[in-house]
Chain A
Amino acid sequence: EAGVAQSPRYKIIEKRQSVAFWCNPISGHATLYWYQQILGQGPKLLIQFQNNGVVDDSQLPKDRFSAERLKGVDSTLKIQPAKLEDSAVYLCASSFWRGGREQYFGPGTRLTVT
């Protein structure tokens, strides 16, 4: 069974530029999550999808971050414009059913904003 796929693995951009990350969850997983992990911290949820609907985006900085999950499968997370404090690893995870429990993570995208 293929795991959660993410791309790119690494990205370096200048502040005020835009960037997009892509995630393909495990086949059949209806719930998809985007987490932000700042160095030295645990992952923090940005947004949770159930199929193609948003369940929780309360911690997503909506003035600069946006995410979509078209057709309930792949998802894209965008930052526009990026700030220095957005430097982090962006992790995508998926699970079978709503409510967290065992989530399966992709390798992450390490973003550096200079």
Chain B
Amino acid sequence: DQQVKQNSPSLSVQEGRISILNCDYTNSMFDYFLWYKKYPAEGPTFLISISSIKDKNEDGRFTVFLNKSAKHLSLHIVPSQPGDSAVYFCAAVLSGNTPLVFGKGTRLSVIA
């Protein structure tokens, strides 16, 4: 039972263009969402997060949008750079003392 779903296993984008990574969730009780980036042979690195009371959070080239009614969030990377090529994981957490629930990840390839 996948509570956090990333339906696109891979995405290929040209350098300089926008990358949009999508994530859907099923549990309406999730109240905080995070994106992690993972390079080969390294652990996931925290990228950006958003609370359920917000609909947008921006940090430099990275913006996360949350649509609670659709149970959908997306990560926008503008402009995309070759160094952004990695696997991106969406994660969600319930309020209180509960662990992160991860999606399966989307592999982003930014082509120069």
Which positions in A face B, CB cutoff 8 Å? 4, 6, 9, 33, 40-45, 48, 55-56, 91, 93, 98-108
Contacts of B28 in A (CB 8 A): none
Interface size on B (CB < 8 Å)? 24
Contacts of A91 in B (CB 8 A): 43-44
- A91 and chain B: residue at smallest CB distance: B43
**When the two chains form their complex, are residues A98 and B46 in contact, meaning their CB atoms are under 8 A apart?**
no
| Given A42-B105, A48-B99: A99 in contact with B44 (beta carbons within 8 A) | no
**When the two chains form their complex, are residues B96 and A99 in contact, meaning their CB atoms are under 8 A apart?**
yes
B100 at the interface (CB under 8 A from A): yes
**When the two chains form their complex, are residues B46 and A107 in contact, meaning their CB atoms are under 8 A apart?**
no
Contacts of A108 in B (CB 8 A): 42-43
Q: Which of A6, A40, A103, A106 contacts B100 (CB 8 A)?
A: A103
**When the two chains form their complex, are residues A42 and B104 in contact, meaning their CB atoms are under 8 A apart?**
yes
B89 at the interface (CB under 8 A from A): yes
**When the two chains form their complex, are residues A56 and B99 in contact, meaning their CB atoms are under 8 A apart?**
yes
| Given A41-B104, A44-B102: A98 in contact with B45 (beta carbons within 8 A) | no
Majority secondary structure, B binding face? loop
Which positions in B face A, CB cutoff 8 Å? 4, 32, 34, 36, 41-46, 49, 89, 91, 93, 95-100, 102-105
| Given A42-B103, A42-B104, A102-B49: A55 in contact with B44 (beta carbons within 8 A) | no
Instruction: Give 3 nearest A-B pairs by CB, closest first.
Output: A42-B102, A105-B43, A45-B99
Contacts of A99 in B (CB 8 A): 93, 95-98
Given pairs A43-B44, A99-B97, A105-B44, 7 additional interface contacts (CB within 8 A): A42-B91, A44-B102, A45-B100, A56-B99, A99-B93, A106-B43, A107-B41
**When the two chains form their complex, are residues B93 and A100 in contact, meaning their CB atoms are under 8 A apart?**
yes
- A104 and chain B: residue at smallest CB distance: B46
- B42 and chain A: residue at smallest CB distance: A107
- A56 and chain B: residue at smallest CB distance: B99
**When the two chains form their complex, are residues A40 and B104 in contact, meaning their CB atoms are under 8 A apart?**
yes
Contacts of B44 in A (CB 8 A): 43, 91, 105
